[in-house]
């Protein structure tokens, strides 16, 4: 049998790494006043024990304008003891350890800097923060270069195996590099050579500070995806210069935070940006690490096999399942819990100044807390409902030694994950349903499928505890005409139970309404295979192919009473969905009140004017109502129960999974 390339060793400089899995730096909001916390130590300890070859933490600050106090500090000697503890936690568990250094530049917020203004190469406002940085002087630039070098020396002194410098993503080095944000007329602006100067000065200084044998990695954008940016070819020129300056490896990501190209969302196909890593690998001789949406070992192996990269970066994949590497190495791939790229806990939390969590893994971010102990006395728990909340509750209780019976009225586990995974680009939620169902299969859980639970049945089981996770039902809309034959529920469309006509009005612009509109808009567009065939054959020009890939056969209008659509999407997801609505030609009407449904369409009041929008199908996407017929019946029989997820009140999958985990651990 051929050796598994994913688990073959590799060298960066003289550092040998046991396998090709690299956990890239991700901001976690787990530090206080730049100090490494017990929460951060426990988080990385679990990932190191899970088998990753190398873990890069960060980013870490190089001066007081580079980050904010919830980042790791590396800008003062007082942070070295904490850094040393972090290095030891990772290395003692078998992984190599690196620190990413960065200066946020114009992406920092004055409110996080004690009112001080962020800095940049030129006073060009940031779309991310809405703030305009002050222009750095030559003396300030020299000081920042020195601060990178000093921070790198601290990283080495603390016992880390390598240092990484972030040269992309719209932060300071890349903002010097790009003509979109660098309008300087001195030696740091103008020509490509001048705009490269700051980044090259930083890397040369870092190399000098750590010595020839210490690995130096640069994290770069394969493409910045920015108007008037440097693009892929400009980055290839830059990495050639970086390699000459002493860089030992490149970790390739994509896009700035201001870019309108989705990078980490569910919509992004697995491994799609590896072509950019391959483009850089073609022009350098040192190892190249591919990034973004690599959440499965088979995808990783394929990228290595085809020569796109030398290592694979798995970040959020290891938040979702810290044991992914070891499961892949030991032939237990089917046990992996795959990241769904929802961004709800790992990214949206950052905007709320909260530490990260995970939809798939409710323990993520809480590793520093003591695990719920094994039950002193095993009890019998009955869980009613096999959606994500019910499965999470059953798994948590079973792991503590309780005897668990899971009852599901349908013929499969997953519940509303099948609705969440129905729209285009949301298929990862279908995989989550499979992953959780397999976890249930592995556990000693009694599973009763196709059984409708009632109070008498549960009472007869004599359980010690009951958790109700029966989910929700689509909300009926009290509007004249809602009972007409051409009116359907969004859930029925997503489940494939009904079909829509050519002119569709969706009433309700929340998450379900938007996802339903996009599902309908996708129908009739070119498939990926058809698009590739026509493109390769030169059958049509690019503009026509783009139109055929984004224009289906329907006219779709979404009505929303509120001021904006998709208000219940997370920040990470919403902008992608809104862009897709425009791209697919879906008409969105906000502050629009549906008055009545007629045989011909929908009467709507908007801006004080009443109009009728033609429709041969009207889709109701008004929301969710709790479905919980059991609780009262059980109470009447003296059986106490807990209620979680939509059965309690309408919630997202994230809440259902976390509530289920908490409920299962409370037994």
Which of 35-44, 283-292, 473-482 is predicted least confidently? 473-482
**Which whole number is the average pLDDT over 392-399?**
98
Find where tokens 């939620």 sit: 429
- Compute the mean pLDDT over every residue in the chain, rounded to the nearest whole number: 96
pLDDT at residue number 425:
87
pLDDT at residue number 494:
93
**Residue 125 confidence (pLDDT) above 60:** yes
pLDDT tens digits along 402-461: 999 999 999 999 999 999 999 888 999 999 999 999 999 999 999 999 999 999 999 999
Can you tell me the distance from the alpha carbon of 121 to that of 178, in angstroms, rounded to the nearest whole number?
10
pLDDT tens digits along 627-666: 999 999 999 999 989 999 999 998 899 999 999 999 999 9
Characterize the bridge pairing of strands 487-489 and 472-474: unpaired
Number of H helices, E strands in the chain: 22, 27
Express as a percent the part of the chain with pLDDT over 70.
100
1 — pLDDT class (breaks 50, 70, 90): low
Contact present, 17 and 309 (Cβ < 8 Å): no
pLDDT at residue number 13:
98
Which residues partner with 624 through β-bridges?
A: 474
**Which whole number is the average pLDDT over 10-29?**
98
Q: Within 13 Å, how many C-alpha atoms sit on residue 17's CB side?
A: 31
Q: Which domains does the chain have, with CATH numbers?
A: 5-351 (3.20.20.70), 380-473+625-666 (3.40.50.720), 487-622 (3.50.50.60)
Can you tell me the distance from the alpha carbon of 571 to that of 36, in angstroms, rounded to the nearest whole number?
27
Residue of higher predicted confidence among 488 and 1: 488
**Which whole number is the average pLDDT over 195-208?**
98
pLDDT tens digits along 254-286: 999 999 999 999 999 999 999 999 999 999 999
Greatest alpha-carbon pair distance for the chain in Å reads 82
Can you tell me the distance from the alpha carbon of 32 to that of 68, in angstroms, rounded to the nearest whole number?
9
pLDDT at residue number 570:
87
Q: Is the pTM of this model over 0.85?
A: yes
**DSSP E strand boundaries for 339-423:** 380-384, 403-408
**Which whole number is the average pLDDT over 97-109?**
97
CA-wise closest residue to 261 among 229, 224, 289, 293:
224
pLDDT tens digits along 53-96: 999 999 999 999 999 999 999 999 999 999 999 999 999 999 99
């Amino acid at each position: 049998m051929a050796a598994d390339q994913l688990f073959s060793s590799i060298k960066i400089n003289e550092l040998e790494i046991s396998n090709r899995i690299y956990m890239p730096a991700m901001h976690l909001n787990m530090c206080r006043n730049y100090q490494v916390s017990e929460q951060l130590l426990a988080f990385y300890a679990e990932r190191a024990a899970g088998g990753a070859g190398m873990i890069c933490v960060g980013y870490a600050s190089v001066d007081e304008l580079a980050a904010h106090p919830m980042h790791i500090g590396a800008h003062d000697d007082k942070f070295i003891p904490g850094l040393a503890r972090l290095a030891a936690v990772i290395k003692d568990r078998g992984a190599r350890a690196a620190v990413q250094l960065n200066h946020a530049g114009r992406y920092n917020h004055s409110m996080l800097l004690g009112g001080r203004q962020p800095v940049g190469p030129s006073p060009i406002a940031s779309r991310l923060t809405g703030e305009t940085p002050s222009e750095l002087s030559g003396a300030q630039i020299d000081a920042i270069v020195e601060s990178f070098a000093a921070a790198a020396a601290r990283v080495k002194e603390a016992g880390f195996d390598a240092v990484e410098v972030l040269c992309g993503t719209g932060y300071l080095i890349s903002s010097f590099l790009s003509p979109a944000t660098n309008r300087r007329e001195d030696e740091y602006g103008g020509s490509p050579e001048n705009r490269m100067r700051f980044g090259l000065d930083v890397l040369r200084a870092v190399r000098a500070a750590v010595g020839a044998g210490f690995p130096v990695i640069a994290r770069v954008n394969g493409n910045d995806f920015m108007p008037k940016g440097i693009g892929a070819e400009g980055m290839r020129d830059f990495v050639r210069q970086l390699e000459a300056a002493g860089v030992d490896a490149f970790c390739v990501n994509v896009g700035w935070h201001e870019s309108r190209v989705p990078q980490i969302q569910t919509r992004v196909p697995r491994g799609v940006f590896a072509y950019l890593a391959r483009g850089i690998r073609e022009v350098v001789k040192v190892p190249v690490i591919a990034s973004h949406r690599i959440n499965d070992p088979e995808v990783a192996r394929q990228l290595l096999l085809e020569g796109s990269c030398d290592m694979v970066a798995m970040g959020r994949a290891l938040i979702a399942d810290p044991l992914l590497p070891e499961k892949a190495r030991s032939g237990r791939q089917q046990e992996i819990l795959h990241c769904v790229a929802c961004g709800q806990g790992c990214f949206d939390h950052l905007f709320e100044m909260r530490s990260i969590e995970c939809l798939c893994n409710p323990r993520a971010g809480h590793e520093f807390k003591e695990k719920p102990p094994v039950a002193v006395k095993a009890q019998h728990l009955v869980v009613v409902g096999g959606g994500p909340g019910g499965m999470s509750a059953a798994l948590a209780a079973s792991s503590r030694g309780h005897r668990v019976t899971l009852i599901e009225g349908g013929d499969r586990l997953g519940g509303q994950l099948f609705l969440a995974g129905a729209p285009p680009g949301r298929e990862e939620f279908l995989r989550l349903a499979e992953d959780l169902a397999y976890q249930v299969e592995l556990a000693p859980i009694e599973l009763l499928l196709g059984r409708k639970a009632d109070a008498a049945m549960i009472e007869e089981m004599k359980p010690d505890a009951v958790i109700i996770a029966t989910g929700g039902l689509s909300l009926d809309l009290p509007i004249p005409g809602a009972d007409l034959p051409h009116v359907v529920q969004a859930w029925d469309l997503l489940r494939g139970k009904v079909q829509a006509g050519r002119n569709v009005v969706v009433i309700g612009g929340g998450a379900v309404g938007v996802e339903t509109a996009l599902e309908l808009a996708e129908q009739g567009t070119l498939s990926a295979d058809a698009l590739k065939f026509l493109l390769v054959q030169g059958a049509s020009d690019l503009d026509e192919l783009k139109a055929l890939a984004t224009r289906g056969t329907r006219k779709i209008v979404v009505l929303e009473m509120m001021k904006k659509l998709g208000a219940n999407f997370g920040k990470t997801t919403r902008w992608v969905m809104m862009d897709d609505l425009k791209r697919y030609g879906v008409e969105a009407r906000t502050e629009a009140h549906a008055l009545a449904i007629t045989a011909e369409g929908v009467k709507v009041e908007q801006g004080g004017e009443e109009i009728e929008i033609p429709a041969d199908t009207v889709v109701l996407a008004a929301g969710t109502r709790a479905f919980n017929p059991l609780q009262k019946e059980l109470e009447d029989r003296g059986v106490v129960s807990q209620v979680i997820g939509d059965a309690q009140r309408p919630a997202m999958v994230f809440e259902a999974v976390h509530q289920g985990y908490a409920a299962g651990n409370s037994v």
